[in-house]
Amino acid sequence: MTSKRAIADVFAWEALDSRGTPTVAAEITLAGGARGSVIVPSGASTGTHEASELRDGGTRYGGRGVAGAVVNANGELARAIIGLDASEQSRVDESLRQASGDDSLARLGANAVLALSVASAQAAAAADGQPLYAAAARPGTRPLLPLPMVNIISGGAHAGRSIDVQDFLVVPLTASSFAEAIEVAWNVRAATARVLEDGGHSVALIADEGGLGPVLPTNRAALEAVSRGIERAGYALGEDVGIAIDIAATQFYNPHRGDYRLAAEDRDISAAGLIKELQEWAASFPIVSMEDVLAEDDWEGWVLATEALSGIQLLGDDLFCTNKHRVGTGIQLGAANAVLVKPNQIGTLSDAREVVDLAHSAGLATVLSARSGETEDSWLSDLAVGWGTGQIKVGSTMRSERTSKWNRLLAIEARLGDGADYAGRGTLAANSGASARA
């Protein structure tokens, strides 16, 4: 007798992400009639060690079409998983990997693989009448609402490189619930916009992730604006609200010279010089988290940065690429103390979950993250709760592909009430910010 959870049908199609770029969408139907569907995201600042999307090339959509990936999802990948029990996520994902036959998933497309991985998980949850966060949780664990990092100002690849640093975010530190944390972030974003307007800067430009995209003279000016915005909103700097920055240093690293080009400030800086500058920023501003402080393969520099910036959460994105082997190297060397987790960097939910578990077992913090090219789906929010990542970063408090994630977390918290915990600031790595500003 066929299980009601057996994958019976796969249907994929080409959809659009939040930048209007083609991406893969898919729906999986189980034998019992349950369905799961997804539209997968795509990144702009991507690491070279990420799983590989499959794009069509040619002239259609400027070469960014995914018709080939859709064919693969409906063909080879579908044949690999039809008949499998969707609740056996690791088996489904391993079958998808074996079908592609390569670690990077380039042959059939990581975008196609991820679509089927997520859709199968959603279908399995639906078959059991569970929300995805419950289906994704370990037995006996309580749901954990994550601490949000919320985008306020963007530069780099997310805002036409008006400034070099990619994102400046706020982290509500004293909020007692997820809902209160989002309200705090909303207040700070509104106040920062007023600060920028008072300084003669336009706030009409909105970056990829919903943050403000002003043209500023220096990267430090963005830190100053956000700090003034925190105070103008009525919060105490570093007590009520901290700052997180995504430097995305790989994006302005010069591999030929081994240094970093700050184009917006027309200057070059060495790895040691960049670390020193980040120390100065940490001494002057309430920075609790720094992401991708150096280039993705500068392991030696990352070790030095982790020592020099002790007390701050040092978050690896391009450094780790949600890859358990790279995270293992980081653990061994002592490079970074937190891992950014993006399922589309590795291609399957099982592999992403394994990275979360590995990081937690080694005492590293985890932040589940959206991409700059997002969709209206909110499954990422469920995974943050079910996996207990502790932190989440999906963008700002505007644009529907961002608010869909925040809204899902607000709904989960409202529904569960006292049946869930809120992570709060205690989930930040290294008791962030304490020693750096001492």
| Catalytic center residues | 209, 342
CA distances (Å), 67 to each of 74, 95, 421, in order?
A: 11, 22, 42
CA distances (Å), 133 to each of 88, 121, 126, 153, in order?
A: 16, 10, 11, 30
